[in-house]
């Protein structure tokens, strides 16, 4: 363990399960104090307890990223416990709906509210805290849908993830003067509990065959990309996106959900 982020405090949204949990775990392994922010407070506490059992400093907070008052409460909790906030990972996201003609206005709004507006809500309240404690790093989790499209997912998901890329670039431009770097990670198919629920073993085998590296991604693959962006190794990197998909974007149409 190299402890590349030792002494820093990281807030990770949507961190109770899946990719978010993988990110929080990796940052904790590298020495960060981690705030597990998730709408599912019980699951967030379970994740934090696991990290604490492994010797990490972790705290769970309930947070609905569409509710700005919830985010304000997260900020107050972090300020009362930690000396600084150095890292924000905007990971919380949802997927809802079917094909474009099946997509309801409610489904459109829900996905955009969580995946894009939720990212703005968190960043706009937490970035000033990072600025006031000397600068740091923000990583926004987009998707390969944000550099192409989601062939198996709905249009609202694709739109939200393209929006994340645009938001990332503009945040990087505006926040550079405050020593805050902002980058995006674009995962491909990552074998999380959600993917297992939404796919069959046959789906996953078909996907594996079209991925050049021959397997689904794992949460730790995404977590390692996040770790690079928030570490000193990326101190001259901002406004960038890193695709983590095993080369799948070379394989034509995606056959299962990202």
In a domain, 3, yes or no: no
Q: Mean pLDDT across the chain, nearest whole number?
A: 93
For the residues 224-235, what does the mean pLDDT come to? Answer: 98
CA 173 to chain centre: 20
Residues 88 and 122: beta-carbon distance below 8 Å: yes
Active-site option among 151, 157, 236, 254: 157
Sign of CA dihedral 164, 170, 173, 178: negative
User: How many domains are there within the chain?
Assistant: 1
Query: Is 82 inside any structural domain?
Result: yes
Q: Judge whether 2 lies within some domain.
A: no
Strands 33-38 and 9-13: parallel
Residue 219: give its domain's CATH number: 3.40.50.720
Provide the residue range defining the domain that includes 167. 9-250
Q: Confidence band (pLDDT; 50, 70, 90) for 251?
A: low
Q: How far apart are CA 142 and CA 245, in angstroms?
A: 12
Q: Considering the domain boundaries, does residue 256 fall inside one?
A: no
Say if 164 falls within a structural domain: yes
Judge whether 1 lies within some domain.
Answer: no
Residue 83 is assigned to a structural domain of this protein: yes
Question: Would you say residue 107 lies in a domain?
Answer: yes
157 catalytically annotated:
yes
| pTM over 0.75, yes/no | yes
pLDDT in tens, 120-173: 999 999 999 999 999 999 999 999 999 998 877 899 999 999 999 999 999 999
3-state helix, strand, coil in the chain (%, to 5): 50, 15, 35
For residue 196, name the pLDDT band (cuts at 50, 70, 90). confident
Tens of pLDDT along 64-111?
999 999 999 999 999 999 989 999 999 999 999 999 999 999 999 999
């Amino acid at each position: 363990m190299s402890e590349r982020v030792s002494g820093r405090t990281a807030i990770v949204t949507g961190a109770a399960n899946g990719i978010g949990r993988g990110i929080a775990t990796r940052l904790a392994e590298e020495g960060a104090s981690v705030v597990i922010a998730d709408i599912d407070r019980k699951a967030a506490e379970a994740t934090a307890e696991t990290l604490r059992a492994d010797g990490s400093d972790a705290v769970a907070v309930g947070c609905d990223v569409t509710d700005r008052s919830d985010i304000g409460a997260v900020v107050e909790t972090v300020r009362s416990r930690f000396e600084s906030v150095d890292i924000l990972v905007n990971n919380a996201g949802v997927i809802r709906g079917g094909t474009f003609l099946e997509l309801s206005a409610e489904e459109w709004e829900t996905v955009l509210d969580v995946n894009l507006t939720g990212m703005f809500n968190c960043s706009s309240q937490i970035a000033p805290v990072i600025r006031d404690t000397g600068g740091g790093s923000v990583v926004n989790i987009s998707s390969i849908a944000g550099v192409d499209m989601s062939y198996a997912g709905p249009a609202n998901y694709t739109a939200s993830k393209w929006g994340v890329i645009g938001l990332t670039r503009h945040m990087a431009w505006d926040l550079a003067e405050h020593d805050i770097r902002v980058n995006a990670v674009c995962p491909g198919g990552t074998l999380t509990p959600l993917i297992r629920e939404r796919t069959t073993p046959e789906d996953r085998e078909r996907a594996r065959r079209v991925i050049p590296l021959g397997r689904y991604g794992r949460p730790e693959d995404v977590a390692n990309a996040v770790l690079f962006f928030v570490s000193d190794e990326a101190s001259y990197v901002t406004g960038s996106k890193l695709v983590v998909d095993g080369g799948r974007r070379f394989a034509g149409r995606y056959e299962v959900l990202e």
